[in-house]
């Protein structure tokens, strides 16, 4: 810990959504906060939450969260069953860096099949604040449910962008994207129901930012062709947002260091994007 002092965090949330029913052991998690470096002129420190995990009183691991300037860090620690292939529930630590549109950092401490070795698995960072895992199917297995951040800013401003849900499942030492599984269609259909009012507007702003997420949602419920038809009737042909794409890194001045692709229209750019993101196949099929 480099000599840092740990103190309790009164703002941290600790959620227990699973218990060690498969093994007579006591799994516990606590959250502490440590300052990083010296305080600035206003007396504020960079603070960092640390989740300490113990089994039967013995420490098995620590999850060091995102650094945040001033104030108590926004952080959640959750005990949840995320991978039933091992003897213990997992400990999730979700922490927020602060700042506009950024960032939620997710860390999970999980054991191997023997229950003797623990390892950290990370996911993100994502837009938005700290958030726990969810059990959308009600079967006791908790998942990470968020929005697909790849849609944000892709064809419109942040606030003008619509994104489909994205769902991950912990499998061993990695998170696997299971968004496209048929059992999650009810989630995607609910999202489509919430989008329906958009089509009642006569001249909506930033149409392409909405329509990209809408078409992706339609693909997730096996209605790609209907969604594509509606998109072609309502997209904004005058917008060039997202029609240039850099296939490589950017330099410090924002110049593309790789191959730059220029699309002739929003539908062409959207098709390429949805193929790359895995929503449709290169043949145009769902």
Shared domain for 72 and 117, answered yes or no, is yes
Shared domain for 22 and 70, answered yes or no, is yes
Shared domain for 274 and 155, answered yes or no, is yes
196 lies in a domain?
yes
Parallel, antiparallel or unpaired: strands 165-171 and 174-177:
antiparallel
- The domain of 30 spans 7-133
Listed residues 133, 165, 195: the one ending a domain: 133
Shared domain for 151 and 248, answered yes or no, is yes
Q: Which of 68, 114, 76, 111 is nearest to 92 (CA)?
A: 76
Indicate the number of domains in the chain: 2
Tokens of 52: 């300490």
Shared domain for 178 and 283, answered yes or no, is yes
Shared domain for 151 and 247, answered yes or no, is yes
Q: Is the pLDDT of residue 15 over 90?
A: no
96 lies in a domain?
yes
Shared domain for 31 and 80, answered yes or no, is yes
Alpha-carbon span 286 to 277, nearest angstrom? 12
Which of 12-21, 132-141, 255-264 has the lowest average pLDDT?
12-21
pLDDT-derived band at 64 (thresholds 50, 70, 90) equals very high
- Whether the ω angle into residue 210 lies within 30 degrees of 0, i.e. cis, is no
Shared domain for 81 and 184, answered yes or no, is no
268 lies in a domain?
yes
Q: Which residue has the tokens 């950092």?
A: 105
pLDDT in tens, 263-286: 999 999 999 999 999 999 887 666
């Amino acid at each position: 810990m480099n000599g840092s002092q740990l103190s309790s965090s009164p703002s941290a949330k600790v959620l227990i959504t699973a218990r060690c029913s498969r093994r007579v052991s006591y799994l516990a998690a606590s959250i502490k906060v440590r300052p990083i470096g010296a305080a600035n002129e206003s007396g504020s420190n960079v603070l960092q939450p640390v989740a300490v995990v113990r089994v039967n009183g013995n420490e098995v691991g620590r999850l060091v969260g995102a650094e945040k300037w001033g104030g108590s860090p926004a952080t959640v620690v959750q005990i949840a069953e995320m991978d039933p292939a091992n003897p213990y529930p997992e400990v999730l630590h979700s922490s927020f860096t602060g700042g506009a549109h950024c960032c939620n950092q997710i860390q999970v401490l999980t054991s191997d099949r023997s229950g003797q070795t623990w390892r950290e698995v990370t996911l993100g960072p994502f837009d938005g604040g700290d958030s726990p895992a969810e059990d959308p199917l009600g079967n006791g297995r908790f998942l990470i449910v968020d929005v697909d951040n790849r849609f944000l800013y892709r064809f419109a401003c942040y606030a003008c962008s619509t994104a489909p849900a994205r769902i991950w499942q912990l499998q061993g030492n990695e998170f696997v994207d299971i968004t496209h599984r048929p059992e999650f269609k009810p989630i995607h259909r609910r999202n489509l129901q919430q989008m329906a009012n958009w089509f009642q507007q006569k001249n909506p702003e930033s149409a392409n930012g909405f329509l990209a997420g809408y078409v992706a949602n339609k693909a997730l419920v096996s209605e790609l062709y209907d969604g594509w038809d509606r998109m072609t009737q309502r997209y904004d042909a005058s917008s060039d947002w997202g029609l240039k794409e850099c296939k490589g890194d950017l330099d410090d001045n924002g110049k593309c260091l790789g191959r730059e692709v220029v699309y002739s229209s929003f539908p062409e750019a959207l098709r390429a994007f949805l193929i790359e993101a895995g929503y449709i196949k290169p043949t145009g099929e769902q």
